[in-house]
Structure 1
């Protein structure tokens, strides 16, 4: 029987940029570089868990287009900045919302580092610019609501809707911790064959997860999915045996009926 040979080597290579790296799988059976690469890319971009801002309450802003006194940015600019906040949530089920606070007075440039500390949350990009207070008499107060989730979730598709709460502004959320995935295939020689594949998966994360851990998480998801299919198909041989057994019974029964019919015909001819 024709057998699809497994790859022999997996190499992990950290990139020059932070939180970037490459995974090289070789040699892959002809065509399987594309098969494996596309599956991994899809799962990496859509199915890994992460955390993101899901809503904001800004003092003095009832909607996203509001202008704030003594603040350089308007409400919309501040919201766009907060959507870039990358963080880890150490506890809580998917969908559970955690509140963070940002309060400041006086002339100052506010970054993610100014957000109050929370034992359940770690902010990765603390240098992220959020807003700038332009006057010594100015102030800024905001409540930032964050949650765990998967992939991209729009306001319309969010199960918990708090838009009726005064001052609460919901946001579309990008939970995936993967910023980019590039899959490339190169030909490699195996014996006399030159059409085997070398799969290269370049992964860039947002800093909340290591590229190698992200790769393993994607592989685990695929293994889990295919394991389920394997279990469901596990009874295929038994089903085939039952069908074969049933056919044998029907054949024997038909042969028996034919013999009885022949006997009856012989008896009638004898008469």
Structure 2
């Protein structure tokens, strides 16, 4: 089933910034539900790929989200077992729980409870959530219970970024009966980008960046795009601020304090040969 996307302007580009060497800048998007398509043009040649790749990486790895990190099931001591009256074993149950998406207002872990009896098909809709916790995909399947079956489950929902495997939590001492599960916090389901040529005057080699974003519903594609851009700006502003505030170096060999290749990272006051300031040596100081 196809949906016709209505074009909406996502941000007002200031005239003094949009009109310059590259002509009139455009930033537009088409959004419907959890899916959106953004178009940014014109960009300097090569910057479409640079910006698109950076935005994509940040979207997939650095945006905060909420997911189940551990569960406790009544009568179950570990995941390699079954539950009487429940069609799925515990491993399949955990796989289903990983697919449930949450929106969490608090930064503190929250506990949601599932208490159902068979015959019943348990879904995320059956979760009893405290204030500030919202289930996004309420139709997500959890388990199928036959007559006489009972399932009492407590799940801990936490905020995080990226992906957190259970192997990284081995040092945590969880109470007996609590099962840690892998948590995928990223609220982005899919993100793709492509770069096309666009015309500026008589020149046709400028870039047009097209980004498609699909979220899990806990955040809108527009907010996700803007937050990813903010994250990149915050990181680059640190580098730009350091470079602008550092003293300008004299291109002399054996200078004291700051040298030609160390405007950001200070070096000890001692004599170095010019070869000492190769990119390899600088990267070593950064590490």
TM-score by length of 2: 0.77
**d(CA) in 1 for partners of 2:63 and 2:128?**
27
Deviations 1:130-178 (A, max 9, x none): 011111x221100111100000111122387244x22111011100101
Higher helix share: 1
Q: For residue 167 of structure 2, give the secondary structure of its aligned residue in structure 1.
A: coil
The residue that corresponds to 1:112 in the other structure is 124
Q: Which has the higher contact order (CA 8 A, sep 6+)?
A: 1
Q: For residue 116 of structure 2, give the secondary structure of its aligned residue in structure 1.
A: strand
Q: For residue 81 of structure 1, give the secondary structure of its aligned residue in structure 2.
A: helix
The residue that corresponds to 1:235 in the other structure is 245
1:8-23, aligned counterparts within 5 Å? Answer: 8-15=25-32, 18-23=33-38
1:169-180, aligned counterparts within 5 Å? Answer: 169-180=179-190
**Cα drift, residue 242 of structure 1:** 11
Cα distance change on mapping 1:6 and 1:60 into 2, 3 Å: farther
Structure 2 contact 111–129 (Cα < 8 Å) conserved: no
**d(CA) in 2 for partners of 1:123 and 1:157?**
26
The residue that corresponds to 2:97 in the other structure is 82
Q: CA RMSD, aligned part only?
A: 2.2
Instruction: Give aligned pairs, total.
Output: 235
1:17-96, aligned counterparts within 5 Å? Answer: 18-92=33-107, 96=108
TM-score by length of 1: 0.81
Cα distance change on mapping 1:6 and 1:114 into 2, 3 Å: farther
**d(CA) in 2 for partners of 1:109 and 1:185?**
46
Structure 1 contact 52–173 (Cα < 8 Å) conserved: yes
The residue that corresponds to 1:265 in the other structure is none
Q: Indicate the structure (1 or 2) with the bigger Cα radius of gyration.
A: 1
**d(CA) in 2 for partners of 1:57 and 1:97?**
15
**d(CA) in 2 for partners of 1:186 and 1:47?**
26
Deviations 1:37-68 (A, max 9, x none): 01101111100000000011111221112111
- Does structure 1 residue 194 correspond to structure 2 residue 204? yes
